[in-house]
Amino acid sequence: MPFYSYHIFCCTNRREPGHTRGCCTEKDAEALRDYMKRQVKTLGIEKTRVNNAGCLDRCELGPCMVIYPEGVWYSCKTKEDIDEVIREHLQGGNIVERLKI
């Protein structure tokens, strides 16, 4: 039995401005990670952990996150995207195809 039901890794890697690959942090990844952590706690979603990650190497598609145990990757660009992942994936058990990368 895994310790967490869901373990979410959010890239918060930062690169210098103008880097050819860009980075998730310049696309608001830290604020979106904070929002997700807050919402998971506020909604009382148990056995779910939201962690920072370094570069996940899909920078151009960011902000990137990956959710285990499924190993599903998402690019969430807004709080509404995060809300949808929480509602559909974490609470509903459904993959959000439109945000999947």
Interface residues toward ligand FES, by CB under 6 A: 11, 13, 23-24, 55-59, 62, 64
Query: Minimum Å distance from CB 78 to ligand FES?
Result: 17
The minimum distance between CB 11 and ligand FES, in angstroms, equals: 3
What single string gives the DSSP state of each residue in 70-88?
TTEEEE--SHHHHHHIIII
Shortest distance, CB of residue 7 to ligand FES, whole angstroms? 17
**Nearest to ligand FES of 4, 61 (CB atom):** 61
Amino acid at 3: F
6, 90 contact by CB (below 8 A): yes
Distance CA 97, CA 88 (A): 10
